[in-house]
Amino acid sequence: MLAFRRSLTRALAAPTMAPQVCSSFATGPRQYDGTFYEFRTYYLKPSKMNEFLENVKKNIHLRTAHSELVGCWSVEFGGRMNKVFHIWKYDNFAHRTEVRKALAKDKEWQEQFLIPNLALIDKQESEITYLVPWCKLVKPPKEGVYELATFQMKPGGPALWGDPFKRAVHTHVNQGYTKLVGVFHAEYGVLNRVHVLWWNESADSRAAGRHQSHEDPRVVAAVRESVNFLESQQNMLLIPTSFSPLK
């Protein structure tokens, strides 16, 4: 009995071990870099597109004084017309909060940029994304057109579909059918959504590369593997604005 009490005392005095989380439950690689990218889409009122772009071009410096604009495009094809898409970069969520507070106090930005443009906008959307761990943002070698391809994947995260998706993207890139700018995974918005931003010299060169890739057995095999985890997809052809850092 005495031995039992001693054993019980030692057990109670032993340090409590932290619960172990099984790695098989992880939905993908851990996000160590706090940098994220906000995707903003503005739907302009009909006939107000040119007025909006001219005003932004004239006053964009008031906005970029607070945070980095990655790129701004008008949507040429894909979905609703009179649409502007832009990407903003932030170091972390605290950085974005600081920027929003600073903008709320910036009277010049409000009077010259915000208030005139709000009257031209019919609808706004925002989505928070991270670059996937195996991709860096790449600036194209010269001016061209961009394609934003959006893939709605099955629930489960990159642990389920990440590797097949990566192989499908790299197969297109490795064969030279298009240029990869970045691959983004949604953090806030519709989950299990991946955006791939491509660059091509023109819409015609993009079409030619796409037709060639459809006849390449390496691409076909990689895509067939990836689509097992795909629910839907859509794309937009983007034309960079004159003030866009990505041309």
Give the tokens for residue 150. 């959006």
Record the pTM.
0.84
In tens digits, what is the pLDDT along the chain, a chain of 247 residues?
A: 444 444 444 444 444 444 443 334 445 556 677 899 999 999 999 999 999 999 999 999 999 999 999 999 999 999 889 999 999 999 999 999 999 999 999 999 999 999 999 999 999 999 999 999 899 999 998 999 999 999 999 998 888 888 889 998 988 888 888 999 999 999 999 999 999 999 999 999 999 988 888 888 888 888 888 888 999 999 999 999 999 999 9
d(CA 172, CA 45): 37
Go through the chain and tell me how many residues it has: 247
Q: Where are the beta strands (DSSP E) in the chain?
A: 36-44, 68-77, 83-90, 121-131, 145-153, 179-188, 193-200, 230-240
